[in-house]
Copies of this chain bind each other. A is one copy, B any other.
Amino acid sequence: MEIKTLENIDITLSPTSKINEVDFENISFGNTFTDHMLVCDFADGKWQQPKIVPYAPITLDPSAKVFHYGQAIFEGMKAYKDDQDDVWLFRPEQNHDRFNKSAVRMCMPEVPEDIFLGGLKKLLQIEKDWVKKGQGNSLYIRPFMFASGKGVVAAPAQFYKFMILLSPAKAYYSGEVKVLIAEHYSRAANGGIGAAKAAGNYAGQFYPTKLANEKGYQQVIWTDDATHTKLEEAGTMNVFFRINDILYTAPTSERILDGITRKSLIELAKRENINVEVRSVLVDELVTAAKDGSLKEIFGAGTAAVVNPIVGFGYKEEYYELPKLENSLALELKAKLTNIQYKKADDTFGWTVKI
């Protein structure tokens, strides 16, 4: 695909840049932002003129509905720089599409492609020096929208703000990740908002994740809330399980986010003749496979970490350590996917989009 740069946009450039103050080698994820941001207001039933302005605080009425009713959604994507200094996005139309699906579920206005993708392109053109070369480096992109309309009445707002922030990121290394399988808490209901990237889905996970942290686990793998027998996904990643030589991942549903990394890995695995089956894995199955040694790998898949190998899991007060493999499918798939993203390998799928 090709993105048409949005030209009908007001631009106010920052008189100074913070770029020289940033230590790009030692940057913690999500805390440093570039010089500019994109802002577009929804008012009078339509999207107003989009603007690129210096990164700055925003001012809201204390009764704005985002504070009271959580009407807010977001996306997470990345820009990569290749050896020729060209900047690339990875399947950005998928993020735009998912953003609008989230918007519908949360009763918010959809954001048109020219603002979401065209505006992002313009913003990235301005901020291209913030995208650093080298595998692992990227510019994390955070499009989000929230209800800015006033009133402490639980009903959809009339006013919204759509924004894009950019944050430089290093290769995501989170240390050895152990996961705890949820036995009691849940992240999503049947008929709920789990498939939307809705703000409220995330805060609900903080407390059970803190309890897991206290037991020595970094993350929780959520199970279905009705029976807690089916493995679903992690907080910000879909999950793959390798039993013998088959990779399994849960089908997406109302409860599970349709991850772009997940779907890309499935296609990549198929191309590489790796056996991949989309079906629910039961907790019991996982425990049995861990005990008899057929469980080879577990890994998370998401934009931030791309692929996050997991070293073991906890369930019912037992800890199950995974074997250390020579030929990890997680690492093989990660290398194949990042090679496409950084333009080091042929993009046979047409996933990458030039800025």
> Residues of A at under 8 Å CB distance from B?
29-31, 33, 37, 55-63, 65-72, 74, 76, 104-107, 140, 142, 144, 146-147, 150-156, 163, 165, 167, 182, 184-193, 198-208, 210, 225-228, 235-236
Residues of B within 8 A of A105 (CB): 204, 207
Main secondary structure of the interface of A (DSSP, over half): loop
Residues of B within 8 A of A142 (CB): 63, 68, 152
Q: Is the CB of B156 within 8 A of A210?
A: yes
Q: Which residue of B lies closest to A37 (CB)?
A: B62
Complex alpha-carbon distance, A56 and B150, angstroms = 12
* CB-based contact B59/A206 at 8 Å: no
What is the distance, in angstroms, from A176's C-beta to the closest C-beta of chain B?
Answer: 18
How many angstroms from the CA of A105 to the CA of B185 in the assembled complex? Answer: 11
Asked whether A70 and B198 contact (CB < 8 A) given A57-B62, A191-B182, the answer is: yes
| A203 engages B30 (CB within 8 Å) | no
**Cβ–Cβ < 8 Å partners of A140 in chain B:** 152
| Among candidates B153, B200, B236, residue contacting A31 with C-beta atoms closer than 8 Å | B153
Neighbouring B residues of A76 by C-beta, 8 Å: 152
Which residues from chain B contact A30 at a C-beta distance below 8 Å?
63, 151-153
Which residues on B sit within 8 Å (CB–CB) of A106?
A: 203-204, 206-207
Assuming the contacts A66-B66, A152-B165, A152-B167, asked whether A191 and B198 have C-beta atoms less than 8 A apart, the reply is no
Query: Do A68 and B206 touch across chains, with their CB atoms under 8 A apart?
Result: no
Closest chain B residue to A193, Cβ basis: B204
CA distance A199 to B156 in the complex (A): 13
Contacting residues, chain B, for A189 (C-beta < 8 A): 186-190, 192, 225
Q: Shortest Cβ distance from A20 into chain B, in angstroms?
A: 21
List B contacts of A187 (CB < 8 A): 189, 192
Contact B225 A68 (CB under 8 A): no
A154 near B235 with CB under 8 A, answer yes
Can you list 21 A-B pairs, Cβ within 8 angstroms, ordered by A? Answer: A31-B150, A57-B59, A57-B62, A58-B60, A63-B165, A66-B72, A67-B146, A69-B203, A70-B70, A70-B198, A70-B200, A70-B202, A106-B206, A152-B167, A185-B191, A186-B190, A189-B190, A193-B204, A200-B203, A225-B226, A226-B226
